[in-house]
Structure 1
Amino acid sequence: MSGFAKRYSFRSGKVHDESCKFYNGAPLAIAACCILICLGIGLIIGFETDRGGGQVRPWQQVRLPESLLPIHYDVELRVDVTAFTVVGQVNVTLRCATPTRYVILHSAELDIVDGDAAPGIRGEGDVVTTLRVTSWFLYTENQYLVLELDSELTKGAVYTVSLNFRGTLRDGLVGFYRSSYVNKDGQTRYLATTHMQPMGARLAFPCFDEPAFKATFTVTLVHRAGYTALANMPLENNVTRNDGWIADRFQRSVRMSTYLLAFVVSDFTSVSTVSSSGLQTRLWARPQYISAGMGDYALDVADKIVAYYEEYFDVPFPLPKMDHISIPDFAMGAMENWGLITYTENLLLYDTRSPSASKKRDTARAVAHELAHQWFGNLVTMEWWDGTWLNEGFASYVEYLGYGYVEPDLNVMEQFAYSRTQGVMKDDSLTSSHPIFQPVIHPNETRAIFDSITYSKGASILRMLGNFLGESTFRKGLKAYLERNAYSNAVQDELWEELTLAARADGQTDLDVKTVMDTWTLQMGYPVVSLTRDYGRGTAQATQQYFLLDPTASTSAPSDFGYRWHIPLTFITRGNSFDQPEQVWMRPDQDTSSVNLQGAGSDDWVLANIHRVGYYRVNYDQTNWQLLIDHLNSDLYEDIPPDNRGTLVDDAFNLGRAGQLDLSTALDLTRYLVRERHFIPWSMAKAAMDYVVTVFGSVRDIYDNWQAHMVQLIGPFYNEVGWTPQQSDYNTEAGQVLAISTACTYGQTGCVNNATALFRQWMDTNNNSHIPETFKSTIYCTAIRYGGSREWDFAWQRYLEAEPSEQSLLLSAMACSRDTVILSRYLERSTDAALVRRQSAPDVISYVGGSDVGKSLAWNFLVDNWDFYVENYDETQFTMASIVLSVTKQFSTQEDLDNLEQFLTKHPNQGTATRAFSHAVDSTRANLRFRQDNESKIRAWLERLA
């Protein structure tokens, strides 16, 4: 009976359909008999839930049962990187927590081998009972492999399950998949690589693929000669088998989650170093990139940052080696696999022959982020995916400390408000946002949580937490948390507990971290703090209010805190030190808080949220706004730090968008930029001010006047920095790049002429060595925007021949064309993997959709090719959401809103883009409302300038 059932039903997970389908059209008596047989089989094996409402079988639960706990995996994979096949075997040692007759593991897109190599189980140690797998099946709905046993497993006993399977090196970008590149001899070379997060390990081998099911792993990779195998741990031994294949067996791993596993089989080469503590660090890439020295900078950075983190956390790095490898086809920027971090080539490799301080910064930040995860995420892992924010938010914060350590001249924390906080505050000010801690009920919801709220809001509130605790207290709590939960899993309350104990040990006896942080993690959004001064008494009243960009919007999402927060309000008055601001606590149960302004006179400005460490906006009474504007327009404007100068513009613009501040105040504030020379306030101001182009880019008279206003503001900065590369430090270089980019973007005649001339010289000579690396993005985009088919076709040919970093620049620049025919052709080509790598196709539609010319083209292309994008990118974090958000960013008309709503009606299931579409609808409504309310105001203000 079990053999019949196994053959006809268990692999498909459809016992009734598969067993009976060949009786279709048979005589009634035979058909009836068959049905009875099938029903009997279903009862005997206990396959499905009783359709009348009976017991739910364990494999019908979307989460793994906790009856069995993995202890160790012994995995062998025979990998053929040219035939794209994998033949594997896994022995899983597990402990029985509660008696059960079923062994349930995750398995997806794998063929489980039957016959003599069928699944088996044996007892270990004192367990001598003979066990037999009576039947097995794949329950594809939950990606389970289910083994039924002839008797129950004994509580506390240890068993080993043996499975043989076959798989394919997929052509996607998740699980165990293939990548390729063309070497210097023009040959296509293939490699096998992995991306397991969040649920990709089950695509590589059957396993308990949830983060709490930690175990140790021994991995053996069998491959042909001429290839090198890498895994999380160092190589233990190397054996050439009788058939000539090479078996690389790696050391037993530390206890870890399946999503942190990594394997690579390639012909890459490496550079390496050994730290003073004996840690070997290697960087792997295509042989020609290693020989060109393109791995040297990242290797040096990685070695230094590991040493820094060991000192910062006061917890040693737990592995004997650390590999970093660049992958030609990779969906994410990087992935923190324990001991074997994978990156996109453009992010990890740095070519010293084309120096760029911004490229060095990006590489250092990426390495610092992934290395931070080796402690926070790998050593201590979230219990379930609803804790992802803590892993990613923490790494997104600590990366600044790491790369600031290796590049001390950058003053990196000054960049935090711009690069992390500013953007996510816009996302978090819509009713379609979500709490940073969000329940994940179904595993399929996991991919949607890798968004800006998880990363950037997480980083921002952890920075705020570290600031009000104090660095020494913060580090003391982190050390205790890491040591207590090492090689295990934890939830956020366990971190709050350790930080509270550290705070109380350091004298902050009235601080309960959980009470404060729950208001920031368990409800979405953030407050705006309004300071209303009493100029006679030198005091102010502070109130808090939930900030929404659309003042007509209201949220239906409940909050246990009523959308009120514990706020560490920092402030200074004119003449006081920004290094030692005053702080007062605002509580959710207080309507107003009294603030002593430390003797500020009626002519002195007050500034709150120093260095924008707090995750909130600040509004002032009109008099204080004017005092700040007057100061910024004076020669003393640099008394206010760069990040706070940028924050003032950003807060004012967004308060104006929300109807909480007269828009003319925000616009008046921008006029000070004519004297600004620092890239941080300029970057923050430009990001806020670009909203005018987003909403009014197609309104000719407003855009023309706004363009003239921007050219007038950037002109002195642009003329001062010129076109001779300034590479003395990142801040100087970034300022020059911003000035040139802004001038060219807004059509400053000299900038456009110079950029197009440099590009034309490249076309004439087929050599771009005269174009500085730092200016390439601006020059390429400007020349293509003001050019035609000849410029675009030239860029396309160079793209096909270029190295990854150059390809990345050209990919973005080609979307700058204003020719709709060219852009449509570009979109079509982007879906051909032979022309544009699979990982880059989403970038193309995002770039095209980012302009007023391309938004409709990109939207229509997305609608027409929706199935293509879902099929190829719905499994990867970020991707679908980023496509939708980029393509709809410019939406600001009733037609745009109608298009969105019509699409959602026709496509009720948007997969991992569901939340992004909600965001797009809310954002479009807010843009439309702003356009209706403020078009005449902006037009009048600009006309007064003319």
Structure 2
Amino acid sequence: MGKGFYISKAVAVTCVVVAIAAVATIIALSVVYAQEKSKNEAISPPTTSPDTTTITPTTPSTPKEPWQRYRLPDSLAPVSYNVTLWPRLKTNADGLYIFSGHSTVVFTCVKETDLILIHSNRLNLTAFEGYHAKLKGLDGATAPSLKNTWLEVPTQYLVIQLSGPLQAGSKYELFTEFVGELADDLGGFYRSEYFEDGVKKVVATTQMQPTDARKAFPCFDEPAMKAVFHMTLIHPQETVALSNAMNYGKFLSQYPVNITMDGQKLIQTRFEPTEIMSTYLLAFVVCDFAYIGTKPGAEVLIRIWARRKAIEEGQGNYALEKTGPILSFFENYYNSSYPLTKSDQIALPDFSAGAMENWGLITYRETALLYNPDVSSNGDKEWVATVISHELAHMWFGNLVTMKWWNDLWLNEGFATYVSYLGANYAEPTWKMKDLIVLNEIVGVMAVDALASSHPLSSKEEDIQMPEHISELFDSITYSKGAAVLRMLSEFITETVFSKGLSTYLEEFKYKNTVYTDLWKHLQMAVDKAGIKLPSSVEVIMNRWILQMGFPVVTIDTKTGKITQKHFLLDPDSVVDRPSEFNYEWFVPITWIKTGVERQQYWLVDKEATNNDMMLNANDWLVANVDMRGFYRVNYDAGNWERLLAKLSSQHKDIPVINRAQIIDDAFNLARAEMVNTTLALRTTKFLNKEVEYMPWQTARNNLDYYFLMFDRSEVYGPMQAYIKRQVSPLFNYFKDLTLNWTKIPESHTDQYNQVNAISLACSTGVKGCRDLTTGWFREWMKNSTNNKISPNLKSTVYCSAIAAGGVEEWDFAWSMYKNATIASEAEKLMHALSCTKQPWLLNRYLQYCLDPEKIRKQDATITIIYIASNPIGQPLAWDFIRANWNHIFNDYGGGSFSFGGIINGVTKRFSTEFDYKQLLQFKEDNAGQLGSATTALEQALERTKANMNWVAMNKKQVLEWFTSETSSPV
């Protein structure tokens, strides 16, 4: 699944909430079921004495019954499903959107059993002669009669007790019929709404990952329970139906067919059987969308689907242009043909994730698939390219070969994140995407993994059981650290050997499930064949990186050649209570360059070692971890630090650009960990008045943001602003000249990004002419709202700067533009800019809008609150808001959603006082049992707050003195 910058993913709520919500849904649906039953007859065989009573036995006295466990027993294995669904795109008499349908699953009995457990969540099941299903034997097998059936709500099962055993080796067929709500909860089979030409339109769509296929029909909803799916959708005449496979209309004239049900003229679309696959990859959509696609006769049919207006405006053209080349890249990279005949990609108005890799029907947020060159920025374009690449990478790695259980999710998502940069680099070779992975993924996740409350990439299977446990895994560790360690592995065994290992891995396990050690074995085979010498096996080396959390800081003494490693913790006083069998030691591939010497490599396999090649003469300098290929930080002796600072001041280009960024990032983080002086970290920014490259500037900005978070309400703020102003002024003038007084767009992809940094920092620190520039552009737009001449790349920073400088007039104008925006990326920019106002009452009003899906879509509510909290004025307002509305936010917006913890992280990142810490503790106590996937985030917030308290107490005085001294001295 494509991350939404860790914003949100599918909905999976906690046990208690699931129980309450599911029961409520079943009660509500039972009222309308009688009305809908007659409508089901066209898609359901006749039944004898249909009954809709929910049969629930007395709660078992022991918690060890199979239906009280969250994992399916290994007694049954699905073979195929035949599913027919009829979503209603209009409300019924009770004001509900619903769907009805039936499903037949063929399964094999692997071990003799008298119990069938199949997942079912929030479905109202028809009872046949008192039971919720029908069972029959196949191929001569005799099915025992049903003894009892009920819905076990906490574990989301339909439980079927049999009068006798199913026989091992025999096949059976289970039939169920049901009604569900086509809710707007962004999970399972749900609805998305939008307006086109003033007409409200409804889309029926899906998001199954990780545990929501069971909300669409009863199924064995675990990734290892692969099967073939035969889908049929019944839908209104004016709509089209899509699913993983092609519909039969391409090959057989009888499908789709027109049918009449309950007096309605409908279409019945039947699809070809899918490949054998997991339930979480199933997808189907009913919509009134248009598409553009490849020409007839193409080996793989590629289609880009979206709202009709979006397609007419050409917003899908870029995605279509790049999908084919990226698919071809991965075919070559994996040495494996694309497994399907078509690749549909569809942009949905309401979608919780960035995208989802459903096999053959990839679903996206509109911002992740649609691009308009007249309105969208180069950042929007990069996002589209990388997300498409991420999802297409999954077509093999994740879909063709799938993890056995969610504890290995990191392998799916970390891998797709890493190679998405390779695919995007192939599609856009001038963008330097292989470098940008450092900024986009690695730097950020190191801050998370340096916390004592971090977690290993791979968890024990038994530790990941409940849906919310699974949802918590969809975090930056899984995606970004997973990408970082795989990038490191690919570096030290070479990219060629890495891809060859992947090829044999995919060939051996296609259509099957694996654990991570299977990949290590195939990479080892490729390493052995290539004759590459490593200090140990791939498995032994990599297990250090995936089975224990965190990463090392490598300290190099260039006077003696001594090298040491230890677990790097951002807060040196934090207590790591997670034991590690490896005692927090790693096999570290150290690469380095030094004066006059090209890159060298050395393996650090113990806590300390000596390498004489790293000893330096008095005037030489050394930089380790070339291009940040390794997932570790580097510290040096004081002499080498001084020589590096001198080199940055005199000839900064002698140090590779990624390492210039790395020096800044390592120094700031080492200072926070009390391993170097804070003033040393600040001194790494002094050369920036001569730097024009994006990566060092962005890294410095990221790290100085922490200082703003800690000090923007104190006396440090003024001198700090003055220093930044002095450093950024040359950059502002550089881009003013480069763009001929802001009339041209820089040619380089990264220059376009750094131009944004120049204007944003210049305006926020008061560089002469900047504020007039941005407010002037915005005012011109306000005068003629149909003619926005602001450069797409600059819109975010211009909107934010102008709204911050303005009042209600600017805010209301931006709000009206947001509500009328027809391009998702434009709406997203405005949504962020609205949080930049300095008017508390406007921020409070904006927060209230987050509770109204008519104003702020549910998919956007979380990030909007985080945006507001990023504003120093908005932070306490957002904190009060989520505390006052936590129950509503949690229940209505999905407390189990993948990045629900993002609210906690975003709203508490400024916390740095004892009072803040006590408030967090109180929040934890007040909402015990109702934190869902935010549980880990809250623990991290508590740890981070303690660390912030200590850091501010230790560093405030010297930080103030340093900034004051720098700004009082001549340039």
Q: TM-score, normalised by structure 1?
A: 0.92
1:852-880 C-alpha deviation (Å, 9 max, x unpaired): 21111111101000011211333554331
Q: Secondary structure at the match of 1:62?
A: coil
Would you say 1:592 and 2:611 are equivalent positions? no
Cα drift, residue 915 of structure 1? 0.2
Task: Write the letter of the residue equivalent to 1:123.
Answer: G
Please tell me the residue identity of whatever aligns with 1:471: E
1:749 is paired with a residue of what secondary structure? coil
Query: Is the deviation greater in 857-866 or in 757-766?
Result: 757-766
**For residues 135 and 12 of structure 1, do their structure 2 counterparts lie closer, same or farther at Cα, with a shift above 3 Å needed?**
farther
Which residue number corresponds to residue 822 of structure 1? 842
- 1:766 offset after TM fit, Å? 2.3
Shift in alpha-carbon separation, 1:112–1:780, aligned structure 2, 3 A = same
Is 1:229 aligned with 2:241?
A: yes
How far the C-alpha of 1:791 sits from its partner, in A, is: 1.2
TM-fit CA distance, 1:345: 0.8
2:756 corresponds, among 737, 761, 771, to 737
Q: Which amino acid aligns with 1:601?
A: N
Residues 54-110 of structure 1 deviation map (CA, whole Å, 9 limit, x = unaligned): x83221221111111000000000122123221111110000011111211000111
Q: 2:56–2:150: 8 Å Cα contact kept in structure 1?
A: no
Is 1:474 the equivalent of 2:498? yes
Of residues 888, 897, 900 in structure 2, which corresponds to 1:880? 900
Residues 130 and 485 of structure 1: is their aligned pair in 2 closer, same or farther, counting only changes over 3 Å?
A: closer
State which of 73, 76, 87 in structure 2 corresponds to 1:79.
87
Offset at residue 841 of structure 1 (A): 1.1
CA distance in 2, matches of 1:738, 1:768: 25
2:512 match: 488
Over residues 434-477 of structure 1, what are the superposed CA-to-partner deviations in whole Å (9 max), with x where a residue is unaligned? 11112313333111110010000000000000001111211111
TM-score, structure 2 as length reference: 0.90
Q: For residue 444 of structure 1, what is the aligned residue in structure 2?
A: 468
Counterpart contact for 1:174–1:876, Cα < 8 Å: no
Residue in structure 1 matching 2:783, options 764, 768, 773: 764
Written as runs of structure 1 = structure 2, the 5 A alignment for 1:340-355 is 340-354=361-375
- What's the counterpart of residue 527 of structure 2? 503
Per-residue Cα deviation, 1:581-624 (whole angstroms, up to 9, x for no partner): 2111111xx23212232785321100000000100000001110
CA separation of 1:48 and 1:791: change in aligned 2, threshold 3 A: same
Per-residue CA deviation, residues 11-57 of structure 1 (Å, 9 max, x unaligned), is 9999xxxxxxxxxxxxxxxxxxxxxxxxxxxxxx9956763x5x832
In the alignment, does 2:382 pair up with 1:361? yes
Correspondence list, 1:594-633, <5 A: 594-597=610-613, 600-633=616-649
What is the aligned partner in structure 2 of residue 40 from structure 1?
none
Structure 2 gap segments, 5+ residues each: 1-20, 25-54, 92-96, 249-254, 737-741
Q: 1:585 to 1:48 in 2, by over 3 A?
A: farther
Partner of 2:9: none
Question: Are the counterparts in 1 of residues 353 and 364 from structure 2 also a CA contact under 8 Å?
Answer: yes
How far apart in 1 are the matches of 2:635 and 2:575? 21
Q: In the aligned structure 2, how far is the partner of 1:295 from the partner of 1:727?
A: 25
Is 1:190 aligned to 2:214, yes or no?
Answer: no
Assess, with a 3 A threshold, how the Cα gap between structure 1 residues 831 and 47 changes in structure 2: closer, same or farther: closer
| Mapped contact 2:121–2:215 kept (Cα < 8 A) | yes
Confirm or deny that 1:240 pairs with 2:265. no
- Deviation, structure 1 residue 728: 2.1
Q: Which residue of 2 aligns with 1:67?
A: 75
Q: Secondary structure at the match of 1:714?
A: helix
Q: How does 1:666-815 map to 2 (within 5 A)?
A: 666-699=681-714, 701-722=715-736, 723-803=742-822, 804-815=824-835
CA shift digits 1:239-271 (9 cap, x unpaired): 212443211110100011000000100000000
CA contact (8 A) 1:78 1:221 kept: yes
Which stretch has the larger CA shift, 267-276 or 826-835? 267-276
Assess if the C-alpha contact under 8 Å between 1:173 and 1:876 holds in 2: no
Q: Tell me the secondary structure at the aligned position of residue 866 of structure 2.
A: helix
Query: What's the % identity of the aligned pairs?
Result: 40
- Separation in 2, partners of 1:381, 1:272: 28
1:490-639 matches, cutoff 5 A: 490-508=514-532, 510=534, 511-534=536-559, 540-577=561-598, 581-587=599-605, 590-597=606-613, 600-634=616-650, 636-639=651-654
Deviations 1:804-825 (CA, angstroms, capped at 9, x unpaired): 2221111111111111111111
Would you say the 8 A contact 1:842–1:883 is kept in 2? yes
Question: What SS does the corresponding residue of 2:685 show, helix, strand or coil?
Answer: helix
Q: Which residue does the alignment assign to 1:901?
A: 921
Q: How far apart in 2 are the matches of 1:251 and 1:212? A: 22
Q: Distance in 2 between matches of 1:688 and 1:196?
A: 37
For the residue of structure 2 that corresponds to 1:101, the secondary structure is strand
User: Does residue 667 of structure 2 align to residue 642 of structure 1?
Assistant: no
Decide whether aligned partners of structure 1 residues 836 and 355 sit closer, same or farther in structure 2, where only a CA change above 3 A counts: closer
Distance 2:445 2:296 in 1: 37
Q: CA deviation at 1:688?
A: 1.2
Aligned match for 1:217, one of 200, 204, 229: 229
Deviation at 1:276, TM superposition (A): 8.5
The alignment status of 1:434 with 2:455, answered yes or no, reads: yes
- What is the alpha-carbon distance in structure 2 between the residues aligned to residue 607 and residue 829 of structure 1? 50
Aligned twin of 2:165: 152
Structural RMSD (CA): 1.9
Report the CA distance shift for 1:599/1:555 in structure 2 as closer, same or farther (over 3 A).
Answer: closer
Separation in structure 1 between the aligned mates of residue 506 and residue 58 of structure 2, nearest angstrom: 43
- Equivalent position amino acid for 1:670 in 2: T
Distance 1:781 1:47, change over 3 A: same
The whole-number CA distance in structure 1 between the counterparts of 2:453 and 2:280 is 29
Partner Cα separation in structure 1 for residue 941 and residue 703 of structure 2: 18
Choose from 475, 478, 482 the match for 1:454. 478
User: What is the distance in 2 between the residues matched to 1:378 and 1:631?
Assistant: 49
Other structure's SS at 1:418 match? helix
1:173 is aligned to 2:186? yes
Note if 1:868 corresponds to 2:888. yes
3-state DSSP of counterpart to 1:904: helix
For residue 321 of structure 1, report the CA deviation from its aligned partner: 0.3
**Aligned runs of 1:288-299 on 2, under 5 Å?**
288-299=309-320
Shift of 1:692: 0.8
Deviation by residue 1:477-507 (Cα, 9 ceiling, x = unmatched): 1111111111111111111111112111111
Mapping 1:261-276, distance limit 5 Å: 261-274=282-295
Q: 2:52: which partner in 1? A: none
Q: Which residue of 1 aligns with 2:400?
A: 379
RCO comparison, higher one (Cα < 8 Å, 6+): 2
Output the CA distance in 2 between the equivalents of 1:768 and 1:830.
Answer: 29
Shift of 1:509: 5.2
Correspondence 1:200 to 2:215: no
User: 301, 315, 325: which one pairs with 2:336?
Assistant: 315
Find the aligned partners of 1:892 and 1:130 in 2 and give their Cα distance.
65
CA contact (8 A) 1:744 1:752 kept: yes
Indicate how the Cα distance of structure 1 residues 452 and 355 shifts in structure 2: closer, same or farther if over 3 A, else same. Answer: closer
| Distance in 2 between residues matched to 1:821 and 1:873, nearest whole Å | 24
The answer to whether the 8 Å contact 2:484/2:631 transfers is yes
Shift of 1:397: 0.2
